[in-house]
């Protein structure tokens, strides 16, 4: 007595899905990491813009402090911990922000690839 073909294929979809589960999980983790890299680029650019904006409005003696504080102001603790903000220039003020990309979850380990944001603006006249 032979088993009907419908009975032989029973559970096949479940087995195939279980076999694909690791591939699906790895793909989702990779996509999430790409999102974190993109978000870090956005944060670095915004922090550099904020820093140079404050740097151009500050007095030359207080420029570095105002610039650095503004660059770090809007970063959450996860990105602020490894952030570097440098400002310089006279007449044309520049700000460079370097951030570390978190590995899977912000606030944990970071990927050893720095993300840089750069901005520049003309100093405001008195």
Q: At 118, is the pLDDT very low, low, confident or very high (cuts 50, 70, 90)?
A: very high
Provide CB contacts within 8 A for 27, sequence distance 6+.
none
Nearest partner of 112 among 99, 93, 125, 94, judged by Cα: 99
pLDDT in tens, 71-81: 888 888 888 88
Of the pLDDT bands very low, low, confident and very high (cuts 50, 70, 90), residue 6 is low
Where are the domains positioned within the chain?
5-122
pLDDT in tens, 38-64: 999 999 999 998 999 888 887 877 888
Whether 1 shows a pLDDT value over 60: the answer reads no
The model carries a pTM of 0.78
Q: What is the C-alpha to C-alpha distance for residues 17 and 24, in angstroms, rounded to an integer?
A: 10
119, β-bridge pairs: 95
């Amino acid at each position: 007595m032979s088993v009907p073909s419908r009975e032989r294929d029973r559970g096949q979809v479940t087995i195939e899905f279980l076999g694909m589960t690791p591939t699906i999980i790895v793909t989702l983790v990779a996509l999430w990491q790409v999102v974190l890299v993109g978000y870090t680029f956005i944060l670095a650019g915004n922090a550099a813009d904020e820093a140079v904006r404050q740097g151009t409005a500050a007095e030359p003696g207080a420029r570095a402090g105002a610039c650095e504080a503004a660059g770090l102001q809007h970063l959450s603790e996860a990105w602020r911990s490894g952030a570097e903000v440098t400002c310089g220039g006279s007449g044309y003020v520049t700000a460079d922000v370097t951030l570390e990309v978190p590995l899977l979850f912000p606030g944990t380990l970071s990927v050893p690839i720095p993300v840089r944001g750069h901005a520049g603006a003309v100093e405001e006249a008195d």
